């Protein structure tokens, strides 16, 4: 067996844990790294909003109408600085944005994850079974995708009614088709590769082939779609709230904050809409940047 | 002949391209469209002896890979029987079918596509043995190391991904994956065609060493006659889905019977015939969608007669252990 060493790869790799390698690969792209930390900060804010907010904007006992329409940086009568100003009801905008992020992010991520699970299961089923199952599923997907997402969401909301759970259901129903189509397309390509034939030649069970061989190889496009769709869900929810059919007023998301300020925008109170809008923008852009970099890093074939 | 390992009886595989809705409508309206059907493998019968090495040769598109995939259980046959160790694959109960599926393993052509790019070598090789109870999950490292050593891979590399290996090493991983489930019969589908010539020799030697050590039986599918001559005991020549000639290797290379075999052998470059003019087989391989009538080879055959156009020649014994399908054998 002396020939082994001659054809072996010359230099052995440095000993490093997979997690370490993953992190150093991810950090290669500085913009993505910045976006990642921004996203971490946003998630931190969303989770700990009640703790870190300067005021509680939804505690009616503490909100004073005399503080309304204050410009960014002015102080309240209780000597609290409103760094981003106040809205027409006298609520601190910074605190409102923190609370709004909590709702927006929660709704977006939760609906994204549920749609991902449902959509990829359906897409894998279509690709693996083929035939009539495939035709039926993909025609439903085609029909769904031919309607604008906002229209479908509006119809669903008007049927289902208001509420956080209702809007999550609506967002899932709007989004699953994107996942299903992506997974099916990739799975159809991967299914015909020889490693799948090899797996069936080794008499591995169907479940194992689908979930251990087929699904992991469909991941790169799925991750990209997942991040884009999560960002899309957040903006769709904001749109619905802006239109007044999204979340109830008692659970204000970023979209609702923007809608509130829209009425007074032309009166010179730009900050009431502007800052929630900026928060939404930063959230969506950083999610997309992180998603792109994740796709590059998670693909072993792109690694040096 | 020694004990029979595998017998293929009148095996056929059609690929049908079904008409879609628009096509069916057009057909109803009188358009000249019909379902296209390809007889990739057309009534093939074959016997492989235990510990034998059978070379299966033919041009691309002649159905040799399809035949190999049916034997390996990846493609179901349209009709015909595959009899393994005396029992037809379709008559087996669940346990027997599973054991037969594991004992017949396949080595694939493309070492880049045949390994799951997202699994480490240890999982690629060790997944099936663990799933089928050949080794305990806790002993997977030792088990995989043993198999890797057997195929000439350094067990140190078991934590790596396939893309970190060269083509020859990947093919060794593919072989190790098959060996890990203790097969008795290997179907090698152009297993060395994608490798460099220097690596080809190493892999062929590996196959031959494994045959000695593990008493393996091989079906060696290739378009490369010199490789087949080197390793096989018996050669099967296929043309457009049918077997045209079967013979022991030495006899076939010495005295090819079928005109197609003769044409193929003329193409093999040889040191002792250097400087000879090169006469390729005339014409293209016909489309299997619309195969020629009678003997499939007649449009390219220098000896073709009117009978060859009309009548399909049957495989007949022309000498002990040799069969050939050609009308010319009737005359003399």
- Burial tier of B90 (Cβ tally within 10 Å: 0-12, 13-18, 19+): exposed
Q: What are the CA-CA distances from residue B74 to residues A200, A210, A262, A291, B70 (Å)?
A: 7, 16, 63, 37, 6
User: What's A204's domain CATH number?
Assistant: 1.10.3720.10
B7 touching A (Cβ < 8 Å): no
DSSP-derived pairing of the beta strands B316-319 and B322-324: antiparallel
Count other C-beta atoms under 10 Å from residue A132's C-beta: 8
- pLDDT of B155 above 60: yes
- Sheet of B79-84, strands arranged across: B36-49, B4-17, B79-84, B87-88
Of B113, B128, B166, the CB nearest to A7: B166
**pLDDT of the residue at B107:** 92
Is residue B4 within 8 A of residue B47, CB to CB? The reply is yes
Across the strands, what pairs with B47? B7
Per-residue pLDDT of B172-219, as tens digits, reads 999 999 999 999 999 999 888 888 888 888 899 999 999 999 999 999
Q: What are the CA-CA distances from residue B281 to residues A168, A300, B264, B285 (Å)?
A: 67, 45, 7, 9
DSSP-derived letter for residue A86 is B
Per-residue pLDDT of A30-76, as tens digits, reads 899 999 999 999 999 989 988 888 888 777 777 777 777 777 777 77
Report the Cα B76 to chain-centroid distance in Å. Answer: 15
B321 touching A (Cβ < 8 Å): no
Q: How many helices (H) and strands (E) does chain B have?
A: 12, 12
CA gap A39, A34 in Å, rounded: 9
Domain that holds residue A173: 28-57+70-302
* Best of B118, B179, B180, B191 to mutate (most A CBs within 10 Å, chain A): B118
A7 touching B (Cβ < 8 Å): yes
CATH node for B4-19+36-256: 3.40.50.300
Task: Please choose, from the candidates A84, A39, A37, the residue with its C-alpha nearest in 3D space to the C-alpha of residue A57.
Answer: A84
Q: Please state the length of chain B.
A: 332
Q: Tell me the average pLDDT across B231-236.
A: 92
Q: How confident is residue B278, by pLDDT bands cut at 50, 70 and 90?
A: low
- Residue A301 half-sphere exposure, CB side, CA atoms within 13 Å? 10
Q: How many helices (H) and strands (E) does chain A have?
A: 14, 0
Count other C-beta atoms under 10 Å from residue A161's C-beta: 11
Q: Please state the length of chain A.
A: 304
Of A4, A5, A217, the CB nearest to B118: A217
> Which parts of chain A sit beneath pLDDT 70?
1-18, 299-304
CA gap A67, B273 in Å, rounded: 102
Using an 8 Å CB-CB cutoff, list chain A residues near B116.
195, 199, 213, 216-217
| Token pair 């892999």: residue | B203
Domain-located, residue A103: yes
Domain-located, residue A15: no
Of A4, A199, A208, the CB nearest to B152: A4
Per-residue pLDDT of B101-133, as tens digits, reads 999 999 998 888 899 988 889 999 999 999 998
Is residue B96 within 8 A of residue B167, CB to CB? The reply is no
- Sheet of B234-239, strands arranged across: B104-107, B185-189, B217-222, B53-57, B234-239, B242-248, B322-324, B316-319
Give alpha helix (H) positions in B56-103.
64-71, 94-103
**pLDDT of the residue at A13:** 46
**pLDDT of the residue at B277:** 62
Q: How confident is residue B307, by pLDDT bands cut at 50, 70 and 90?
A: confident
Count other C-beta atoms under 10 Å from residue B16's C-beta: 10
* Average of per-residue pLDDT values in chain B: 87
Distance from CA of A260 to the nearest CA of B (A): 49
Task: Please choose, from the candidates B249, B225, B236, B263, the residue with its C-alpha nearest in 3D space to the C-alpha of residue B324.
Answer: B236
Q: Tell me the DSSP string of B218-233.
A: EEEEES-HHHHHHH-S
CA gap A209, B293 in Å, rounded: 42
CA gap B218, B106 in Å, rounded: 10
**pLDDT of the residue at B269:** 66
**pLDDT of the residue at B312:** 87
Per-residue pLDDT of A225-263, as tens digits, reads 888 888 889 889 888 888 888 788 777 888 888 888 888
**pLDDT of the residue at B272:** 65
Domain-located, residue A188: yes
Chain B residues 82-111 within an 8 A CB cutoff of chain A: 98, 101-102, 105-106, 108-110
Using an 8 Å CB-CB cutoff, list chain A residues near B117.
195, 217, 300-301
B164 touching A (Cβ < 8 Å): yes
**pLDDT of the residue at B175:** 93
CB contact (8 A) between residue A194 and residue B161 = no
CB contact (8 A) between residue A217 and residue B202 = no
Using an 8 Å CB-CB cutoff, list chain B residues near A303.
163
Q: What are the CA-CA distances from residue A5 to residues A8, A190, B275 (Å)?
A: 5, 33, 40
- pLDDT of B9 above 60: yes
Using an 8 Å CB-CB cutoff, list chain A residues near B69.
197
CB contact (8 A) between residue A198 and residue B109 = no
Sequence-separated contacts (24+) of B143-147 with Cβ below 8 Å = B143/B180, B144/B176, B144/B180, B147/B176, B147/B179, B147/B180
């Amino acid at each position: 067996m002396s020939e082994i060493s001659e054809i072996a790869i010359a230099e052995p790799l440095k000993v490093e844990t997979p997690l370490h390698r993953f992190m150093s690969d991810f950090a290669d792209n500085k913009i993505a790294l910045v976006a990642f930390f921004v996203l971490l900060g946003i998630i931190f804010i969303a989770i700990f909003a009640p703790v870190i907010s300067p005021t509680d904007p939804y505690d009616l006992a503490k909100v004073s109408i005399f503080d309304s329409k204050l410009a960014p940086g002015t102080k309240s009568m209780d000597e609290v600085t409103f760094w981003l100003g106040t809205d027409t009801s006298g609520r601190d905008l910074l605190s409102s944005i923190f609370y709004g992020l909590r709702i927006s992010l929660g709704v977006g991520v939760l609906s994204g994850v549920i749609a991902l699970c449902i959509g990829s299961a359906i897409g894998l089923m279509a690709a693996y079974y083929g035939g009539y199952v495939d035709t039926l599923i993909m025609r439903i997907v085609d029909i769904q995708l031919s309607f604008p997402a906002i229209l479908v969401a509006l119809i669903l909301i008007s049927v289902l009614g208001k509420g956080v759970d209702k809007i999550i259901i609506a967002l899932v129903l709007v989004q699953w088709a994107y996942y299903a189509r992506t997974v099916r397309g990739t799975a159809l390509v991967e299914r015909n590769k020889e490693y799948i034939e090899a797996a069936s030649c080794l008499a591995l069970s169907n479940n194992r082939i689908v979930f251990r061989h087929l699904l992991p190889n469909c991941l790169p496009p799925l991750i990209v779609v997942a991040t884009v769709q999560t960002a899309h869900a957040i903006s769709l929810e904001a749109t619905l709230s802006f239109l007044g059919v999204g979340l109830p007023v008692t659970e204000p998301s970023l979209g609702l904050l923007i809608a509130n300020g829209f009425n007074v925008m032309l009166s010179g109170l730009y900050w009431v809409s502007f800052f929630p809008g900026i928060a939404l923008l930063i959230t969506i852009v950083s999610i997309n940047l992180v998603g792109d970099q994740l796709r590059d890093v998670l693909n072993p074939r792109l690694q040096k | 002949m020694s004990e029979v390992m595998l017998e293929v009886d009148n095996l056929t595989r059609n690929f049908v391209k079904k008409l879609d809705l628009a096509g069916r409508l057009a057909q109803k309206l009188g358009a000249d469209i019909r379902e296209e059907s390809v007889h990739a493998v057309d009534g093939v019968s074959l016997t492989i002896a235990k510990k034998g090495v059978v070379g299966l040769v033919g041009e691309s598109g002649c159905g040799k890979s399809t035949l190999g995939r049916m034997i390996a259980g990846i493609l179901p046959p349209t009709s015909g029987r595959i009899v393994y160790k005396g029992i037809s694959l379709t008559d087996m109960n669940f346990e027997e079918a599973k054991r037969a599926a594991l004992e017949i393993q396949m080595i694939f052509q493309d070492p880049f596509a045949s390994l799951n790019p997202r699994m480490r070598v240890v999982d690629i090789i060790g997944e099936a043995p663990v799933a089928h109870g050949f080794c305990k999950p806790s002993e997977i490292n030792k088990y995989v190391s043993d198999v890797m050593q057997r195929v000439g891979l350094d067990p140190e590399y078991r934590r790596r991904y396939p893309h970190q290996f060269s083509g020859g090493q990947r093919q060794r991983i593919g072989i190790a994956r098959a060996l890990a489930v203790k097969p008795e019969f290997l179907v090698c589908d152009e297993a060395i065609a994608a490798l460099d010539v220097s690596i080809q020799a190493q892999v062929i030697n590996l196959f031959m060493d494994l045959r000695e050590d593990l008493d393996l039986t091989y079906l060696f599918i290739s378009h490369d006659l010199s490789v087949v001559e080197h390793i096989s005991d018996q050669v099967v020549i296929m043309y457009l889905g049918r077997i045209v000639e079967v013979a022991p290797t030495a006899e076939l290379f010495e005295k090819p019977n079928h005109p197609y075999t003769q044409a193929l052998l003329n193409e093999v470059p040889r040191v002792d015939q250097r400087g000879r003019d090169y006469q390729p087989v005339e014409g293209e391989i016909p489309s299997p969608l619309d195969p020629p009538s009678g003997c499939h080879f007649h449009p390219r055959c220098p000896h073709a007669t009117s009978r060859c156009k009309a009548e399909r020649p049957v495989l007949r014994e022309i000498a002990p252990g040799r069969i050939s399908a050609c009308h010319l054998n009737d005359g003399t």
